[in-house]
Structure 1
């Protein structure tokens, strides 16, 4: 685990200042083959527009945004909790866009982001978390190690950034 990395929640008053760095991480991940809702080639404008929308969601208390930064203040990874749910699901949150820059992988950053997401969800009064990920990818193992339970797989659910169909595995976690 890299002790020179800090994981923290970004508040509504500072999220706009992170949009460019978040766009860098998103572009890096998509260019590295991550199936996270975007196709190649991903433009900077597309990435910035996405994160601008996330910033608005943070400002409206619809999302919690967590980031991992090194001691120099460079953004290495991020994860979100979508906490704005239907009225019959006030106890649930969706984990979204768990991204770690390729240069920062295999250092325990994703695990730390997920632990911070669990803590933030508890603090927000959430007890059930759900997420989905590419079937057969490294993230599946990460989630299983972190106590997530596999629900099932939907074949050909999404596309990889190059257009190749991929399955998606759904997970849930009950927070206690």
Structure 2
């Protein structure tokens, strides 16, 4: 198996990597992943990642990528922009692994590094949602995530079905520093 490297991208690096980021997203949508897209639309995917670049630039999000042979094959993001009463938490979104790179531990490593980064950022509570029964759900449970509940008919799948979502959370250790108010 080829070595995988992990890197936190800043806005400029993400801008340069837009074609690769779009490729990972497109591959996941093509496989039916429930990640906010119901069809393969190159312009919509480009616009999504362009919005991410802006969020990275202002510090609202952080983006971790997995690279194999220098090419991005996986992503995960931390949403840090929270209201004043929630600066102790972050949301984990867009855990994506290109179909050609799956079953090699990339998703697990992305999650572990995202959890560690959240702790470094002073976050002690992480939340996420995932399609109920999705292949990612056992991964999250194996990493110590807890189920808070399910919402029926939450999101339309690529097949047009209204799927339930499972809301999950994890309490994590952090380095003791708290983010500045409004951070």
Question: Which category describes the TM-score, using the shorter chain as reference length?
Answer: over 0.9
> Are 1:93 and 2:90 an aligned pair?
yes
How do residues 1-176 of structure 1 correspond to structure 2 at under 5 angstroms? Answer: 4-40=3-39, 42-70=40-68, 72-176=69-173
Q: Distance in 2 between matches of 1:100 and 1:13?
A: 22
Report how far residue 95 of structure 1 moved.
Answer: 0.4
Instruction: Render the CA deviation track for 1:71-126: whole Å, top value 9, x for unaligned.
Output: x2111100000001001101110001110000111100000000010111011111
Match of 2:180 in 1: none
- Structure 1 segments, 4+ long, off by >4 Å, are none
- Determine if contact 1:11/1:58 at 8 Å carries over to the other structure: yes
Q: What is the TM-score with the length of structure 2 in the denominator?
A: 0.92
- Determine if contact 1:8/1:116 at 8 Å carries over to the other structure: no
Report how far residue 3 of structure 1 moved.
Answer: 6.5
Q: Distance in 2 between matches of 1:57 and 1:76?
A: 21
Q: Distance in 2 between matches of 1:102 and 1:3?
A: 15
Report how far residue 13 of structure 1 moved.
Answer: 3.0
SS in structure 2 opposite 1:162?
A: coil
Report how far residue 12 of structure 1 moved.
Answer: 2.5
Q: Distance in 1 between matches of 2:27 and 2:91?
A: 23
Q: Distance in 2 between matches of 1:18 and 1:129?
A: 27
Q: What is the TM-score with the length of structure 1 in the denominator?
A: 0.95
How many residues get paired? Answer: 173
